[in-house]
Amino acid sequence: MSRVSIFFYAAAFFAATALADVSYIHAGRVLADPANGRVLTNQTIVVRDGRVAELREGFVDGPGRVIDLRKKFVLPGLIDSHVHLCHENGPHDRMNRVTLTAADWAIQGARFAATTLRAGFTTVANLGDENDAIFALRDGIERGDVPGPRIIAAGHVLSPHGGDGDVHDYRPDVEVTIRRENLCSGADDCRRLVRNQIQRGADIIKIVATGSVLADVAQGVGLQFTDAELQAIVETAHGMGRRVTAHAHSTEGVNAALRAGVDSIEHGTFLDAESIELFKANGAYLVPTLLAGATVTEWANDPNGFLSAPARAKALDVGPKMLDAGRRAHAAGLKIAFGTDASVARHGTNAREFSLLVQAGLTPLQSIRAATVGAADHLGVSQRVGSLAPGKAADIVAVDGDPLTAIGELERIRFVMKGGVVYVDPRN
């Protein structure tokens, strides 16, 4: 299906659903609440005004639309806790930074948002894109202007001057032109930046506590913020009702961010025994992004790949270790939320993360929990999404087979409903 037809297909269903605000979904098998793991059979999910009204035993109908999923396995809409919808990494990254506008990024984001929704992900946390682009996309989706997942948006990532979120390896006059308002130095300056970002519309605060793999600079993946800066960021964000998540690879970066009180760690590649104790003491989540690790490893091993020399060296060091970090975290009983870092891996391939989580030791059910009830708790949206319970958003997906025995089924989504609106229908 072409990109244009995807949009009009979703728009047509939006219009049709608006006329019929009650739907009766006949579900052959349904995992309504992944927390308890019970698979119900022969159920009717009654959807009214975009929300789950009730689950009834047997196949019943009434005044409204009947959706036949009697031969499908039904579960709540999936949640990806780490995406970047406005771009995909590739060989043109450096040029794109100096040629594309916020409007260009938003248009790209609309395309990737539709792709992500059709893959079954009805809620995402977008952890780093240009402010105007991602906030406009978030709000446009919420209004129903364009199809896409529900977005919890960070906007700009917060970085120290010269850190991972700064601009590197351009002429100084070009760097000044494209540098974002996302940099701080010193505790007071970091407090100011958090306040400014929330004022601009951030739902969550994302910081780069350490260097990253794909930055075109040979500064490694070590700690970048001071303890005082980290503490100021977390205190300010929490005081204004926002969670804080930290990109962190190195042991010292992971542990410093956890000691400062961040709510979650993205990646966590070199976590150690102290990290595990800090995670547990804080009740923090790990978002292991195993798909990103697998992807950068593939890129680094491609002799014709596009990575710069510094990025390739870091990818070869970090990428292969991420699966083992996920394995150690799970074995230690840490809370894990599903997240892919999509934009590294292609948008729409998010569900590949499930198989990697299973390789890291999670059962298929545990991996589904990470992408439903776990991710909803991690992002503070459990009252709205994560399970099919009365009053929650009618975010519903379905597959042909049983993902509890074959987790790869989630890579082949056959039905997608978000907020009572159907975007993928097996009858078409």
Per-residue pLDDT 10s for the chain (428 aa) are 454 444 444 554 444 444 458 999 999 999 999 999 999 999 999 999 999 999 999 999 999 999 999 999 999 999 999 999 999 987 887 778 778 999 999 999 999 999 999 999 999 999 999 999 999 999 999 999 999 999 999 999 999 987 766 555 655 765 655 556 889 999 999 999 999 999 999 999 999 998 766 665 545 567 889 999 999 999 999 999 999 999 999 999 999 999 999 999 999 999 999 999 999 999 999 999 999 999 998 888 888 888 878 778 878 888 888 999 999 999 999 999 999 999 999 999 999 999 999 999 999 999 999 999 999 999 999 999 999 999 999 999 999 999 999 999 999 999 999 999 999 997 76
Residue 126 lies in a domain: yes
281 within domain boundaries: yes
Q: Is residue 360 part of a domain?
A: no
- Do 227 and 345 lie in a common domain? yes
Indicate if 163 and 24 belong to the same structural domain: no
Quote the domain boundaries for residue 394: 3-77+387-424
Question: Is residue 192 located within the same domain as residue 276?
Answer: yes
Q: Do both 123 and 186 map to the same domain?
A: yes
Q: Which of 302, 332, 350 is the last residue of a domain?
A: 350
Do both 56 and 104 map to the same domain?
A: no
Q: Are residues 410 and 336 in the same domain?
A: no
Whether residue 242 is contained in a domain is answered as yes
CATH number of the domain at 185, please.
3.20.20.140
**Residue 373 included in any domain:** no
In this structure, the answer to whether residues 396 and 418 fall within a common structural domain is yes
Instruction: Please state the three-class secondary structure of the chain as a single string.
Output: CCHHHHHHHHHHHHHHHHHCCEEEEEEEEECCCCCCCCCEEEEEEEEECCEEEEEEECCCCCCCEEEEEEEEEEEECEEEEEECCCCCCCCCHHHHHHHCCHHHHHHHHHHHHHHHHHCCEEEEEECCCCHHHHHHHHHHHHHCCCCCCEEEECCCCEEECCCCCCCCCCCHHHHHHHCCCCEECCHHHHHHHHHHHHHHCCCCEEEECECCCCCCCCCCCCECCCHHHHHHHHHHHHHCCCCEEEEECCHHHHHHHHHHCCCEEEECCCCCHHHHHHHHHHCCEEECCHHHHHHHHHHHCCCCCCCCHHHHHHHHHHHHHHHHHHHHHHHCCCEECCCCCECCCCCCCCCHHHHHHHHCCCCHHHHHHHCCHHHHHHHCCCCCCCCCCCCCECCEEEECCCCCCCHHHHHCCCEEEECCEEEECCCC
In-domain check, residue 306: yes
Instruction: Assess whether 270 and 405 both reside in one domain.
Output: no
Total tally of structural domains belonging to the chain: 2
Q: Are residues 73 and 85 in the same domain?
A: no
